[in-house]
């Protein structure tokens, strides 16, 4: 495990992850920049402070498992494993390019540090639950973290796993919900309302906690405290802003789709650097 990063270091990593994603998505002309920017601080804290992983041994049996279930935020996920030391940052230039291995949705094949491939929403949590059950039964120390999106919670598969994990008291399982309030066509509230979300988790036998998903200190405090209650899986409901860090992308569905033009990239990078 890495030495404990300071809050300034975490914020600096988050800026790097945002800048990488902006460059990767702009150059490859792909979608999902807003989805990457909203989860940047969460990933910075996960890799900087929470996960017990070893970049020199990606398959170390006792590692914590992180499943990135919102697989469309692939650019920032690859950036996070690169910044964590699993692969050279130069490889990020191949993102979504012909002949590379970095697909536009999180892919494990040929990418060290990626635990599980995703891209079809609602797969990560059932798989993470299976890992947690196996870990629990083996008496293992390692833990399972699943990062998910809010729109993803529409999928019934998640609620099947939430019921299961609560029933089986899998307190080695934690989910972090990137609750950015926007999905593919509209606001979450105008698509399928999730509130009261924390109550839902509590009713399913989980221990929920709501935090500011852009406050690295608050995220750390919550994630360092898991399991929040013994015998219950933990749900960190991270309130975020889609497109966070680039003012004109924030809260806009458009930036689920559009790639920044070269000119837009310059101003976006400047905003991130100044943040």
Partner 1 sequence: MRTAFIQTLNELADRDPRVCLVVGDLGFSVIEEFAQKHPDQFVNAGVSEQNMIGLAAGMALTGKIVFTYSIGNFATLRCLEQIRNDVCYHRANVKVVAVGGGLAYGNLGVTHHASEDVAIMRALPNMVVVAPGDPVEARLATRAVVALDGPAYLRLGKAGEPLVHENEPPFELGRAITLRDGTDLTLIASGGMLATADKVARTLAAQNLGVRLVSMHTVKPIDREVVARAAVETAHVFTLEEHSIEGGLGGAVAEVMAELDPGHAPLKRIGLRPEFNKTVGDQNYLKSLHGLDEESVLKTIQQIIARSYGRVG
Ligand X SMILES: Cc1ncc(C[n+]2csc(CCOP(=O)(O)OP(=O)(O)O)c2C)c(N)n1
Question: What residues make contact with Mg ion under the rule CB under 5 A?
Answer: 149-151, 180, 182
Q: What's the CA angle centered on 246, arms 244 and 250, to 5 degrees?
A: 55
Q: What span, in angstroms and rounded, lies between the C-alpha atoms of 215 and 185? A: 27
- Of 6 and 120, the one with the shorter C-beta distance to partner 1 is 120
Q: Map residues 176-195 to x or -, x wherever contact with ligand X holds by CB under 6 A.
A: --x-x-xxx-----------
Q: Mark residue 231 as left, alpha or beta (left: phi above 0; alpha: psi -120 to 50; beta: remaining).
A: left
The minimum distance between CB 146 and partner 1, in angstroms, equals 16
β-bridge partners, 145: 66, 174
The minimum distance between CB 105 and partner 1, in angstroms, equals 4
- Of 40 and 87, the one with the shorter C-beta distance to ligand X is 40
Q: What span, in angstroms and rounded, lies between the C-alpha atoms of 225 and 272? A: 29
What residues from 97 to 156 belong to the interface with partner 1 (CB under 8 A)? 97-107, 109-110, 117-122, 151-152, 154-156
- Interface residue with partner 1 among 54, 191, 210, 248 (CB under 8 A) is 191
Cβ neighbours of residue 9 closer than 8 Å, sequence gap 6 or more: 48
The minimum distance between CB 257 and partner 1, in angstroms, equals 6
CB atoms within 10 A of CB 34: 26
Number of residues located near partner 1, criterion CB under 8 A:
39
Select the binding partner of residue 35 from partner 1, ligand X, Mg ion, none (C-beta < 5 to 8 A, by kind).
ligand X
The tokens describing 187, both together, are 């606001």
Identify which of 117, 133, 101, 106 has the alpha carbon closest to the alpha carbon of residue 39: 106
The minimum distance between CB 24 and ligand X, in angstroms, equals 16
Q: What span, in angstroms and rounded, lies between the C-alpha atoms of 167 and 46? A: 26
For residue 189, give the 3-state DSSP assignment: helix
- Interface residue with partner 1 among 19, 21, 30, 220 (CB under 8 A) is 30
- Of 232 and 258, the one with the shorter C-beta distance to ligand X is 258
- Name the site residues for partner 1 (rule: CB under 8 A): 28, 30, 71, 74, 94, 96-107, 109-110, 117-122, 151-152, 154-156, 183-186, 191-192, 253, 256-257
């Amino acid at each position: 495990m890495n030495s404990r990063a300071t809050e300034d270091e975490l914020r600096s990593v988050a800026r790097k992850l945002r800048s990488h994603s902006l460059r990767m998505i702009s150059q490859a002309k792909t979608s999902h920049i807003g989805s990457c920017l909203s989860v940047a601080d969460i990933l910075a804290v996960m890799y900087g402070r929470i996960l017990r992983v070893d970049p020199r041994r990606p398959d170390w049996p006792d590692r914590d498992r992180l499943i990135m279930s919102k697989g469309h935020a692939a650019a920032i996920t690859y950036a996070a494993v690169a910044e964590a030391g699993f692969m050279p940052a130069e490889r990020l230039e191949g993102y979504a390019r012909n002949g590379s291995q970095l697909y536009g949705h999180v892919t494990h094949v040929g990418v060290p540090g990626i635990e599980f491939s995703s891209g079809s929403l609602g797969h990560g949590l059932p798989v993470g639950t299976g890992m947690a059950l196996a870990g629990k039964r083996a008496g293992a120390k390692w833990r399972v973290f699943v990062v998910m999106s809010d729109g993803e919670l529409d999928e019934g598969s998640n609620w099947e796993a939430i019921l299961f994990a609560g029933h089986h008291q899998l307190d080695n399982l934690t989910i972090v919900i990137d609750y950015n309030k926007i999905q593919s066509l509209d606001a979450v509230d105008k698509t399928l309302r999730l509130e009261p979300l924390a109550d839902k988790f509590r009713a399913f036998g989980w221990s929920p906690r709501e935090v500011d998903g852009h406050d690295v200190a608050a995220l750390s405090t919550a994630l360092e405290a898991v399991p929040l209650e013994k015998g219950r899986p933990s749900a960190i409901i991270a309130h975020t802003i889609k497109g966070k860090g680039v003012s004109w992308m924030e809260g806009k569905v458009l930036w689920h789709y559009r790639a920044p033009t070269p000119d837009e990239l310059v101003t976006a990078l400047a905003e991130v650097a100044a943040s």
